[in-house]
Amino acid sequence: MTTTTTTTSQHQGLELGKYQISPLTKAMPDGWIACSVSIRSGRGSATTDRVVRLTRLFRDRIAAAEYALAEGVRWITAGGRPLAN
């Protein structure tokens, strides 16, 4: 029996106005890197965190994290409209 482990990593995020943007990457069993972005606002019990899974795959974690961060910024500057991949 073969077991495969995937690792999720959080990378350096940024603050843009009232939002905290955090890129996430995940190593897939086939060697590709998937990415997501967390877009958080508010404080305490009023915190909202939207996590968007992106469909583009990468061979490099840094490229995947940069792409996720850019998509988070694009989501905020587009007024919260859905991201198209």
pLDDT higher at 1 or 36: 36
pLDDT higher at 4 or 10: 10
Burial per residue of 13-41, b for 16 or more beta-carbon CB atoms within 10 angstroms, e otherwise: beeeeebbbbbbbbbeeeeebbbbbbbbe
pTM of the full structure: 0.79
Q: What is the pLDDT of residues 27-75, one digit of tens each?
A: 999 999 999 999 999 888 899 999 999 999 999 999 999 999 999 999 9
Cβ atoms 33, 27 nearer than 8 A = yes
Q: How confident is the model at residue 12 (pLDDT cuts 50, 70, 90)?
A: confident
Of the candidates 41, 43, 40, 39, the residue with the CA atom closest to the CA atom of residue 53: 39
Give residue 15's pLDDT: 93
Of the candidates 61, 56, 63, the residue with the CA atom closest to the CA atom of residue 85: 56
Q: How confident is the model at residue 83 (pLDDT cuts 50, 70, 90)?
A: low
Q: Where are the domains of the chain?
A: 8-77
